Structure 1
Amino acid sequence: MTTAVPVATIGFTRTSAEHFFGRLIGAGVRKVLDVRLHATSQLAGFAKADDLAWFLRRIGGIAYERAPLLAPTDAMLAAFKKAKGDWKTYESRFLALMAERGIEHRFRPEQFDGACLLCSEATPHHCHRRLVCEYLNERWGGALSVRHL
């Protein structure tokens, strides 16, 4: 029996930089996979893509990588966030998008070893980072051991 690949997820809102980086370092994260659609917004503060890559490297020796294939579309995000859409509708559309993109064939479990999927949502409950992990685990037979930081 193979050991499940450890992967984490984290959101950067409603937390301090100290708590955010502390959770990543404490969890032994080696790479942050940024699954946000937009990673350069001024509203992202310390989590703006270029700044975040620098902070991760300097503070924790953590690599940074964008993963746009694991992000929703603009239209999908707008329907949910701006138009205050229904979570179940968003969830089913997002899972259909992951299937359409065939992400389970474009990634391998090993690529997630020691990684942490980053999005903006403070908790994983209504965030696509959780859906990505669940989708892949379903298709990969539970290959990932997921921890939400």
Structure 2
Amino acid sequence: MDKAKVSTIGFTKTKAQGFFERLLKAGVKKVVDVRLRNTSQLAGFAKADDLAYFLQKIGEIQYVHQPLLAPTDRMLKAYKKESGDWSAYEKRFFALIAERQIEKCFKPEMFNDACFLCSEEAPHYCHRRLVCEYLNEKWDGALEVHHL
């Protein structure tokens, strides 16, 4: 198989129209929600049940919540207490997903035409990017990643 095409997207500071249009334009077939809590109030359309409904109705896109790819509550709280020390958070998160051995729980083809969803507007300081980097390292670059 060629590289699996994987996208990432955040919903903060975006309107529903732009969010769903980006997914459709990218040809996304499945949204993998990598948030710890998928009932966020940050955007009304991004709550788990509503999001699954909208994705199906708008683009026949499957919705899956995958907390195995999310940070722990403790990790998130520590990050906030440390005033956003990204390098410390990044190290902790990489250690967490290595401990979970996420590369053994999934296969690259499971993420083909999928999009990792989190709340952060941009991927620079978001764990969805870290998940992609970690898996690409473990899977010898099997993912072709695009940040929407």
Instruction: State the TM bucket, normalised to the shorter chain.
Output: over 0.9
1:9 lines up with 2:8 in the alignment: yes
User: Who is 1:85 aligned against?
Assistant: 84
Root mean square deviation of aligned Cα: 1.0
% of aligned pairs identical? 66
After TM superposition, the structure 1 stretch with the greater mean CA deviation from structure 2, 47-56 or 83-92, is 83-92
TM-score (norm 2): 0.97
The DSSP-based 3-state class of the residue aligned with 1:46 is: helix
Deviation sequence 1:34-74 (CA, Å, 0-9, x none): 00011113333110000000000001110000011000000
Is 1:97 paired with 2:83?
A: no
Offset of 1:85 from its aligned partner? 3.3
Amino acid at match of 2:52: A
1:1-149 superposed matches below 5 A: 2-149=1-148
Q: Which runs of 5+ in 1 are unaligned?
A: none
Deviant stretches of 4+, over 2 Å: 41-44
What amino acid does structure 1 have at the position aligned with 2:84?
Answer: G
What secondary structure, in the 3-state scheme, does the structure 2 residue paired with 1:133 have? helix
Paired AA for residue 91 in structure 2: S
- Is the 2:12–2:42 contact (alpha carbons within 8 Å) kept by the matching residues of 1? no
Q: Size of the alignment, in residue pairs? A: 148
Shift of 1:3: 1.7
| CA distance in 2 between partners of 1:81 and 1:31 (Å) | 30
Distance 2:79 2:28 in 1: 30
